[in-house]
Chains A and B, each alone.
Chain A
């Protein structure tokens, strides 16, 4: 199974400042079709996760442009350019390049 390792475990941020979360996979997530199946989700307290970024860097519908994803192969990063109070929660990366899909352990972001 591809092991997804997120750092840091927690992050305390100041509104208006940038934030960055790292996700490293134990295996390359580049598939033979040329796509990289790496995703980012935010789970707010008491809610299901919701998709922020798909295929490394594509923002999902309605996601503010302060969120951006980058990386390739095994190393990926989620960046928030200017953190807002509404961005608090736990962020997860996930790979679905290979079976089984696996999630990172999560990064808790608070203000």
Chain B
């Protein structure tokens, strides 16, 4: 069965960077895009960007351009999302999701930004 398993929660200081991983199983990671979505506490869902694991191409929301880097390692079926210049506003649960339909989601990774 398709599964996306994400890395664990992290606490970061303002100005730092964080890298979240998303390991895919049950399908071939190069067959679908991987999207990144975040959810601030008590808020809705915010799309951040997508990665094509096959080509390595990416596209991010304008809001995150210059701050987000999405990469993949097909040899271990894993996608990564790195966000730099963290502020308290980046405190959120970060999700990876598969394909245009966002049909399968990772369990989420809580990133807390606090001094």
Using a CB–CB distance below 8 Å, which chain A residues touch chain B?
37, 39, 41, 48-51, 54, 60, 92, 94, 96, 99-106
| Nearest chain A residue, comparing its CB with the CB of B49 | A100
**Most A-side CB within 10 Å, residue of B44, B45, B95:** B45
Other contacts beyond A39-B101, A48-B108, A105-B44: 17, CB < 8 A: A37-B100, A48-B95, A48-B106, A48-B107, A49-B45, A51-B102, A54-B101, A54-B103, A92-B45, A94-B102, A96-B100, A101-B35, A102-B47, A103-B44, A103-B46, A104-B44, A106-B45
A60 to B106, CA, bound (A): 17
Using a CB–CB distance below 8 Å, which chain B residues touch chain A?
35, 44-47, 59, 61-62, 95, 97, 100-108
Chain B binding surface SS class? loop
| Nearest chain A residue, comparing its CB with the CB of B4 | A48
Q: Chain A nearest CB: distance from B17 CB in Å?
A: 23
Residues of B close to A92: CB separation below 8 A: 44-45
Residues of B close to A54: CB separation below 8 A: 101, 103
